[in-house]
Amino acid sequence: MNAIVENLIGLDLRAEIDRLRKERNAVILAHYYQAPEIQDLADFVGDSLDLSRKAAATDADVIAFCGVRFMAEVAKILSPEKTVILPDMDAGCSLEDSCPPDQFAAFRAAHPDHLALTYINCSAAVKAHSDIIVTSSSAETILSQLPADQKIIFAPDRHLGGYFARKTGRDMLLWEGSCIVHEAFSETELLKLKAEYPGAPVAAHPECPVHILDHADYVGSTRGILDYVLASDSDLFIIATEPHIIHQMEKAAPHKTFIGAPGADGNCNCNACPYMAMNTLEKLYLALRDLTPQIEVDEPTRVAAKRSLDRMLEMTGGVSGPDVGRPKL
């Protein structure tokens, strides 16, 4: 047992987090992929952009972001006057890692006639080098407003970019990044599960590779998937995204059954996001107590990144956009 955990033994962590939340005038945000015990004590549970926008609209002095680093950076970009803490600064993202800012800047420079549409899952520095940020909910709305002959770079998720290229018929230059979580689903195992539960619709996130999306009845963002299963008449679903979102589904529809899509051995835990799992109640408590680790974004980067985020909001009427997934490809 490490020293940090040892020192906290005997503390009522939930009560202490509650006390510090009030003392610090803090708002606690949890992404859908966080552990249930974190989701259950958060002030807001949602997708990354929605959480940052909700936090910006509060009068909190502190934002405790239970999610990954790029999400907390978006919160800081939108609320520079607030202190933004992330329980574990190592909570990164394979998509962010796949797109180092200097390499992205060089790629852009090599394609000066291309517009850079960049998925929100990237660093603040990459956002600053981009023209328009997109989410899985807003990308299609934004693409529909760009002239047909406009050349486009889509970074960093090649699966998400490929999905929108197929859906809109646009030829885009794709950055070669991917999400290790959504890449872990096995087509063979998914087909076995579908055969076992023939009536169960499959809902998938567009970060999944095409061989998974091809079997989906619905493709959409985390929020979109949640809305889909709640609105559907079916009582049984196969969910091809990070499995912790099932916690919200079970809370909202306790009479329905949700089965996580399997990885290669049919029963692995490989589709739980290891970065999201770095946040714990202990680390959240310490972050609120010590106001560290804090997210810092230098002002020129923040302003440039905010410009590309604002462009998305302008092009989607101030919301992150209608959902992407109905009907399936």
Residues that bind ligand SF4 (CB under 6 A): 33, 68, 93-95, 121, 179-181, 207, 242, 273, 275-276
Tokens of 233: 């008449």
For residue 168, the Cα-to-chain-centroid distance in whole angstroms is 22
Closest distance between ligand SF4 and the C-beta of residue 122, in Å? 10
> What does 63 interact with, of ligand 13P, ligand SF4, none (CB < 5 to 8 A by kind)?
none
Contact status: 118 vs ligand 13P (CB under 6 A): no
Q: Is the peptide bond before 101 cis (omega within 30 degrees of 0)?
A: no
Q: Which two tokens stand for residue 181?
A: 């979580």
Q: Which is nearer to ligand 13P, 64 or 179 (CB)?
A: 179
Closer of 36 and 80 to ligand SF4 (Cβ): 36
Say which entry of ligand SF4, ligand 13P, none residue 275 contacts (CB below 5 to 8 A, set by partner kind): ligand SF4
Q: DSSP string of 61-110?
A: SEEEEES-HHHHHHHHHH-TTSEEE-S-TT---HHHHTS-HHHHHHHHHH
Which region holds residue 180: left if phi is over 0, alpha if psi is between -120 and 50, else beta?
alpha
Q: Which is nearer to ligand 13P, 135 or 186 (CB)?
A: 135
Distance of CA 7 to the CA centre of its chain: 32
**How many residues form the binding site for ligand 13P (CB under 6 A)?**
9
Binding mask of the shown chain, residues 174 to 193, with x at each position contacting ligand 13P by CB under 6 A? -----x--------------
Does 222 interact with ligand 13P (rule: CB under 6 A)?
yes
Q: Vertex 60, ends 56 and 64: CA angle to 5°? A: 80
Q: Which residues contact 298 (CB under 8 A, 6 or more apart)?
A: none
Could you tell which of ligand 13P, ligand SF4, none binds residue 29, using a CB distance below 5 to 8 A set by kind?
A: none
Contact positions toward ligand 13P, by CB under 6 A?
47-48, 121, 135-136, 179, 207, 221-222
